[in-house]
A and B are shown apart, each in its own frame.
Chain A
Amino acid sequence: MNNKFVIAVYVENKFGVLTRVTSMFTRRGFNIDALTVGETESPEYSRITLTMSGSGYAKQQMINQLRKLQNVKKVEELEPETSINRELMLIKVCNNPETRQDIMSAVSIFRCKIIDYSTEALSIEITGEPSKINAFIEIMKPFDIIEMCRTGIVALERGSGSILEKSDH
């Protein structure tokens, strides 16, 4: 059975480390839905958050193979119940007098922001759980989406702990 998993990976903040991680995915045939990478609380490490679909076997294999990479410091699955997930999307839709008001209402209901306005287009910023973003895209489809760009999930565990403190096995 295929499920979605969110996995957080601390890697050494060095040249070429992202390539090492993604090269392993290709070699082992893992399917990645989304991947984000950025700075962390420590300049030594970057944090990769990746979303994958697959069986429990594939998830465990991916975690195991990630842990074997020399530049990987920590790998943890972030379970939906015990973690906070957010994604950012920028979306550009056609702006015309007939639809403008409907778009503005949706923006208001979804609590997102219009961040660029031209006579032909509106650009909207929305943050939230992926399901909220998916729903917003559905609403926008009739208004002619010109371009959109999603960041992929970033996630943290709930509570006061850091995944770096957890043991591996």
Chain B
Amino acid sequence: MNKTGSQILIEALVEQGVDTVFGYPGGQAINIYDELYKNSDRIRHVLTAHEQGAAHAADGYFRATGKVGVVIATSGPGATNLVTGIATAMLDSVPMVAITGNVPCDLIGRDSFQEIDITGVTLPITKHNYFVNDVTKLADTVREAFQIARSGRPGPVLIDIPKDVQMALCEYEVKEPLPLTVNEKADEADIQAAVELLKSCKRPYIYIGGGAIGSGVAEEIIAFADKIDAVIGCTLMGISAVPTENPRFLGMQGMHGHYASSMAQNNADLILAIGVRFSDRTTGNKKKFAVNSKIIQLDIDFAEINKNIAVDVGIYGDIGDAFKRIAEQTPAQTHPDWITFVNKLRKKEEAYDMPTDTLTPKKAVQIINSVTTPDTVIATDVGQHQMWAAQYCSFSKNRKFVSSGGLGTMGFGLGAAIGASIGSGERTVLITGDGSFGMNLNELATAVSTNVPVTVVIFNNGVLGMVRQWQTLFFDRHYSNTVLDRKTDFVKLAEAFGAKGLRADNAEEFEAAMKEAFATDGPVVIDCKIDKDEFVLPMIPPGGSMDDLIAEKGAIK
């Protein structure tokens, strides 16, 4: 049957099982929006306040559900507003399909109104992208886009569709989604090399990243850690893969990682790295990173093997398959000395921590933990609050931590929290700062109009805390442009948007506010006062190593 390009786009999305898209209409997307209007029973379109919010929402939607997020925008500024959202998805390997309208083909290249070469702009920040100038190619392009976005190491794909292609007619027939490209199986020789190293190790540390969540091997990892008496640490992207309460789990390592996790990694004699890319935030000075340790690296992306850290055994291939083969062939082991050593590190970590009744960031996160359920999604923005959330939030299920790791996108959180909540149907807590929240708070309008149960907790310290922390430590306390000193009343602001606003100046008030928020049907903003000189600790200074670790505030001069 003949259909227009816009109709074909909708049908192709339905083929892929898409039932929710995020976006914002405009002149060159109006035909697509007309079809969304006619198909509102099949696809829910969530209108955001800004295209960037829509892109982050599509991203958060995936992170919380594992389903590809879809975002639609018009040409020109609509398309460029997606850029930060697409780049965020790229750096964290999030599958997303971004669809943009463009001016008709005969106006392309003439600097027409709202014309931009968005495939050119997004070339370095997409896994792949398409400019579709022929309606007969449209359906297959959408199919391929979903296949590419989800296969292997996932990532965002953009499809740019000129308006005349949206209007052109062609034959359409329904097809099944393309199967994902089959992941290659790791070489047996590499597996054997890994097993040999594992057999002789005395201090094993299993190090997991986002790839461990994506490949669904978290349970096998826990079982294997028990089998070989290893401890487990993770990257920011690996948070929530393993339940926080697991006795072998030491939490995030790296620049602001848990003391015990970073120290254990530094003292391990074998690191089994699964789906991590050894980002500079996790390694610090690469010459001094894990010098005592052999490293086995498993990744589905061959380009990550030896990219940032030269490893002893690099295993390229399907992580699930490779990991199971390693686990089966490695004999059980016990390492009581290692476990005793790690437990001492944990004791030391606990000792750094003074119990307090004041509303410290840790206390605030603990109060959040006391109110959340295992199904609650925690989203964050970027900065100090993000690190406190990463350090102290408790998780028992995976895909519950939604945070911008690689790109470190301030302003990510609110859109992502809305997308995560819509996708998962779960109550979502956004932990943000007054700086990050200020960037994209316009999405409160979206939260209100969709009535999502998103609780926004603003760690309000009146400063750009993370940069301020660096200024304190490395720039002689020159607080250049990090003191916000704004007069924004976040409670009134929330109310102005139609949300509930609450204020908390101490722990009791915050606990009461969290409980009230969790009893509220719809978005709530809690303005939570935090001292401006709170530090995220421990800290390995940028480019430093464990030798430079700042473990407690007393050590700062």
Contacts and interface: CB of A to CB of B under 8 A. Distances in A.
Interface of A: 16, 19-20, 23-24, 26-27, 57, 60-61, 64-65, 67-68, 70, 169
Nearest to B302: A64
B127 interface: yes
Indicate the size class of the contact surface on chain B. 10 to 19
Interface in B115-139: 119-120, 123-124, 127-128, 131
A68 B301 CA distance: 8
Given A70-B128, A169-B316, A61 B307 contact: yes
Contact of A16 (B127, B131, B187): B131
6 contacts: A19-B120, A23-B124, A26-B124, A61-B307, A169-B187, A169-B316
Nearest to A69: B128
B526 interface: no
Given A16-B119, A16-B131, A70-B148, A27 B303 contact: no
Contacts of A16: 119, 131
Given A60-B306, A61-B307, A20 B301 contact: no
B306 A19 contact: no
Contacts of B123: 19-20, 23
B119 A61 contact: no
B303 A61 contact: yes
B131 A24 contact: no
A59 to B, nearest CB: 12
Contacts of B306: 57, 60
Contact of A169 (B148, B302, B307): B302
Contacts of A23: 123-124
Contacts, number: 29
A26 B124 CA distance: 9
A27 B127 contact: no
Interface of B: 119-120, 123-124, 127-128, 131, 148, 184, 187, 301-303, 306-307, 316
A26 B125 CA distance: 13
A57 B308 CA distance: 10
Q: Which 3 A-B pairs have the closest CB atoms?
A: A64-B303, A70-B128, A27-B124
A163 B529 CA distance: 64
B160 to A, nearest CB: 11
B131 A68 contact: no
B123 to A, nearest CB: 5
B124 A67 contact: no
Contacts of B184: 169
A92 to B, nearest CB: 35
A23 B148 CA distance: 19
A24 B307 contact: no
Contacts of B187: 169
Contacts of B119: 16
A5 to B, nearest CB: 17
Nearest to A62: B303
Which of A20, A24, A64 gathers the greatest number of chain B CB atoms within 10 Å?
A64
Contacts of A61: 303, 307
Given A16-B131, A64-B303, A64-B307, 15 more contacts: A16-B119, A19-B120, A19-B123, A23-B123, A23-B124, A57-B306, A60-B306, A64-B302, A67-B303, A68-B301, A68-B303, A70-B127, A70-B148, A169-B184, A169-B316
Contacts of B307: 61, 64
A24 B303 contact: no
Contacts of A27: 124
B136 to A, nearest CB: 16
A57 B127 CA distance: 23
A65 B303 contact: yes
B154 to A, nearest CB: 13
Nearest to A68: B303
B46 to A, nearest CB: 29
A32 B111 CA distance: 31
A64 to B, nearest CB: 4
Nearest to A28: B124
Contacts of B302: 64, 67, 169
